[in-house]
Structures are given as C-alpha cells and as structure tokens.
Amino acid sequence: MSDDGSVVECCVEGSSMRRLVTIPLLASVVLGALSGVFAQETQPGKSEEDNGYAQISIFAKALELVRQDYVDDNKTSYHDLITAAMKGMLSSLDPHSQFMDPSDFRDMQDDTRSRFNGLGIEVSMKNGLPTVVTAMEDTPAAKAGILSGDQILRINGISTERMDLQDAINVLRGPAGAKVTLTLLRPATKEIKEYTLQRAEIKIQSVKGARLLDAELTGPFKIGYIRLIQFNEPTAEELSKALDDLQKEGMQALILDLRNNPGGLLNSAVDVCAQFLPPNTKVVSTQGRVASQQHDYSTSGAKKERPNFPMVLLVNEGSASGAEIVAGALKDLHRAVLVGETTFGKGSVQNVMQLPDGSAVRLTTAKYYTPSKQVIQGNGVTPNIRVAMTTEQERSLFALRNAGNIKPEDEKNIIKTKDAQLLRAIDALKGVMIYAQQSAPKAEAVKK
C-alpha cells in the first residue's frame, strides 16, 4: 500500500550553500521518522556498506537534485516524489507488497466488506504482467467472458508492461458507469482480444448456488452443492446458514465449489474450515523472518456440531489465497477430496499497516503452510483427482453462472456436457456412499 510520508521543506532552492545545508537537514527528518528501522541497522548477514544513515543521505541528495533541476516543476513536490519512491520500493520486493494512498486503502476496506466499484476482476502480477486471478461472477468482467489466467496487455490503450499492480487496479476501479478497454492475451490459445467494459457497483454475495443437485445426476443420494465466491466478513455466517438449510433437506454429502475464488480474509477462511473440522484444529500456519510472524491458526473452540458427511472441494487455477488455505487444510486433514486443477499458488501473508495520513503499506511478512507443512506460494495445492477443463467449457460455465434465471433442465444439460469437474466430484461421492452402504451390514454382523 503506501507511505505518504511528506517531508517539511527546509530551505529555498537557489544557492549551492543552501543546497549543502538542505541535504543533511532533510536526511535527519527522514531518519527521525524511520528511527525504529535504524535501531536494528546492524542485522546479522548485512554488510557494513548496507548502512541506513548513509543510504538515506544519498536518497535525500537525489531528492533535492530532482527538486532543484528537473524540468517540470509541477512534478517535484516532496509528496509526489516520496510517494513514487515508496511505490517503487514496495513493488520491487514482490508482486503483492504495495503502497496505497488513502483512497486506495479505503477501496481495499470496501472490498473486504463485499462492495466496491469496478469491473469485477481480481488481478495479480505474474511474469511481469497484471494477470486475471478470477473474474467474479455477476460482474461486467465475467459476463464478457474474461477467464482466469488472461494477461492484461493494455488498459485504455496504455501498455501494462511497466505498470505496477496498484496503478493497474486504480484504472480498473473507479466511478460506476465509466468504460474501460482491456486488451487481453489468453496464454492457453495465444488469442489476443479487446474488451470494452462498463464499471459497475460490485456487490459480492459470498455464498451462491446452495441447493441439492438434481436426482438424475446423483441417483439415490442427496448431494448438496455450495459455491463460495470470496472470503469476506460475512462468508462463514452465510455458509453456516446454507449448510443448515441443506441439512434440513436431508443432505448426505457436499460439494463445495472454490473454483475462481480469489481468496480474501484469512480469518474468514479459517472460520469456513471450522464448519467442517473439530474445534481447536490447526488449519494453516505462517512463517516469516521474525518471531512475531510465526503463527498457527486453528478453528474455534466452540462450533456447531455437524455430521461428518462425505465432501469434495472443486478447485482450479483461479482458486487462490484463502481458497488455497481451505483446500490445503481439508485435503491434508483428510476431510475432503479435491477435484479439478492445481490452484493459483498465492500463499504469502500481507500485513496491512495504516500510516498517520490515512495511507497504508501492504507488506509481505510470511508464507502460508498447510497442516502437512506444504508451501502454497508458487506451488499451489494439487487435487487428489485431476480433471482439466477446456477454454470452451469454462466459457460455457461462465455463461451459465451469469445467465440469471436459467431453467433447471438447461442447467442440468450444461453440467452434463460442460462441467467435467462437477460430474467427477459427483461420481467420487457416489462411490464413497455406495461403499459405506455395503460396508455397514458387514460391520453390523461383526458386532453380533
């Protein structure tokens, strides 16, 4: 996010004497603000040349030279220059660390509350380009057919090659009603296509599609289906209600669809795991450089009791972050079978630290580890049963999810012909339940 650390002007540019005086004064102001950092200046493994005071002095000198000699005076305010420096510093670390000015920080807070203005695209930097993690359903991006993995080459005709992630997000988001033109490359097909989309107010309903699947697909068994769109503040509560309703209808097994779920809040993901695991069960851990970043995250000590029904999670390349935490935990703890494709691989922890002016810094401080100590970052979570989907099948599913009131018969036909992953999940659950039925009489006979 951002550090908007504005620096007080302490001289009038002009004479060389003034300039010599200004540099140490400015350096002392910046150093004073960062004294907590320099208190740990001599860290193990750091060379003597990596000296905070010396480097800040060089930075201060460069800053004053820009302010004195750069051709366009309207670009040389301390605020603008230091903001740009902060953006560059954070973005040089990794694709997920970033600087946010106050308006960017407010947008991020709105996002976690399931409401913002934009196109409905979750993006991350991959191979140097803004890349679509997922196009959230019921949004302009999903309705246009944008898919996970699409690379954004241009936004409104401007190349994204040297654009940092926050700048790209700022263009994608904005007032509802405005149009944005995207040029996308789809790596799977090498197809380049241009989309003109109109921003809208995005209201994300975390839990969708909760229902018992059609008996023609599930046979004699009642298999529930729930789709999680994102992990936001109300997600766990909404999921709990959906599970209560399905259990009242006699649900015997569950398919939890995390495909194209870009993640969200860590606590929300842990609370979702709590719906299916015993109390006080560790579901994810974080490890970073400092002791404060070593954490184990466990389910709550108090939870609603639920039957230990058979369960499948659907995952794909668009399943990221919080979705990968849930998938990794339920797989490692043998609570669910994963069906689909390897997930995105976004498994690093970002702490958001607000600064005095309302801006904030988002800083990667640790990595996520599944209960079996598997690293999510860069690797993703691999499914137990791998089932690939073609681009044409994915497009058909997007069309189904964004079609509004679709007839049950049409939905069933699309599932049969296009959703190989869901069909495979149904078959897996049917096999488990058939085996359980056949084993039950034998177990009863042994007891007698």
Give the domains, in start order, of the chain with CATH numbers. Answer: 1-38+48-92 (no CATH), 115-203 (2.30.42.10), 207-439 (3.90.226.10)
Which two structure tokens, joined as six digits, stand for 401? Answer: 């999810």
Band (72; pLDDT cuts 50, 70, 90)? very high
Band (149; pLDDT cuts 50, 70, 90)? confident
Q: What is the chain's mean pLDDT, rounded?
A: 83
Measured distance CA(152)–CA(135) in Å, rounded: 13
Residue 13 has pLDDT above 80, yes or no: no
Estimate to the nearest angstrom the gap between the alpha carbon of 66 and the chain centroid.
37
Measured distance CA(134)–CA(136) in Å, rounded: 6
Instruction: Please confirm, yes or no, whether 407 is among the known catalytic residues.
Output: no
Interacting residues of 154 by C-beta distance below 8 A, sequence separation 6+: 160, 181, 182, 183
Measured distance CA(71)–CA(73) in Å, rounded: 6
CB of 161 closer than 8 Å to CB of 131? no
Catalytic residue, candidates 321, 348, 359, 418: 321
pLDDT reported for residue 115: 58
Instruction: Please confirm, yes or no, whether 332 is among the known catalytic residues.
Output: yes
The DSSP output letter for 213 is P
pLDDT reported for residue 404: 59
Band (393; pLDDT cuts 50, 70, 90)? confident
pTM tops 0.75, yes or no = no
Question: Which region among 18-32, 83-97, 326-340, 347-361 has the lowest average model confidence (pLDDT)?
Answer: 18-32
Residue 12 has pLDDT above 50, yes or no: no
Q: Which residue has the higher pLDDT, 116 or 52?
A: 52
Catalytic residue, candidates 94, 214, 245, 332: 332
Question: Which region among 62-76, 134-148, 282-296, 315-329 has the lowest average model confidence (pLDDT)?
Answer: 134-148
The CA distances from residue 284 to 36, 122, 234, 261, 293, in Å, are 31, 23, 20, 18, 13
pLDDT reported for residue 48: 61
Instruction: Please confirm, yes or no, whether 35 is among the known catalytic residues.
Output: no
- Residue 398 sits at the vertex; the CA angle it makes with 201 and 394, to the nearest 5 degrees, is 140
- Please name which of 217, 215, 218, 209 lies closest in space to residue 432, comparing C-alpha atoms: 218
pLDDT reported for residue 136: 80
Mean pLDDT of 355-384: 93
Measured distance CA(18)–CA(32) in Å, rounded: 21
Catalytic residue, candidates 87, 143, 331, 346: 346
